[in-house]
Amino acid sequence: MFLGTHTPKLDEKGRFFLPAKFREELKDGLVITRLQDRCLAIYPRAAYEAEAARLIAGSTGLAKVRNVQRMWASAASDDVPDAQGRLTIPQSLRTYAHLERDIVVIGALNRVEVWDAALWGQYSAEQEDAFAEMNEEVFGPG
């Protein structure tokens, strides 16, 4: 499970150091792709395959399902972190997520998300109040 917030920097080649506590789970391979909200998702291969199976199960007769399948899979890139624990983000994904130098890497349970630092700051500020109220709506009465 991936937890926490980290603030590594992208270097000039689009690489960053994965947080040390994420490296073990990602060392044998990962898939990075775009996610909604202009961020990127990094999945261990098994988690990516589970998400892909969920998407494959959707009816391709529905345009929205086809659109999500296309956008999610067409941007996906499989990789293995280098010996120092660095990961290179492909240019097309950096462009999609507006990644330059300052990034935020968050644990999001079954995946790692990579955000532009300014976009993450804006997103998390907007979500603070709603988060306090959404627990019952999402999970039902406690």
* Residue-wise pLDDT tens digits, 70-88: 999 999 999 999 999 999 9
Contact in structure between 45 and 78 (CB atoms under 8 Å): yes
Close Cβ partners of 7 (under 8 Å, ≥ 6 residues apart):
102, 103, 104, 105, 117
Q: Domain count for the chain, please give it.
A: 1
* CATH number of the domain that residue 116 is part of: 3.40.1550.20
Verdict on whether the full-model pTM lies above 0.95 = no
Domain that residue 33 falls in: 5-139
Residue 1 clears pLDDT 90, i.e. is over it? yes
- pLDDT at position 134 is 73
Tell me the percentage of the chain whose pLDDT exceeds 70.
95
Report how far residue 105's alpha carbon sits from residue 125's, in angstroms, rounded to the nearest whole number.
16
Residue 136 clears pLDDT 80, i.e. is over it? no
- pLDDT at position 132 is 75
Show the DSSP H helices in 57-116 as ranges: 63-74, 91-96
Tell me the percentage of the chain whose pLDDT exceeds 90.
78
Higher pLDDT, 118 or 130: 118
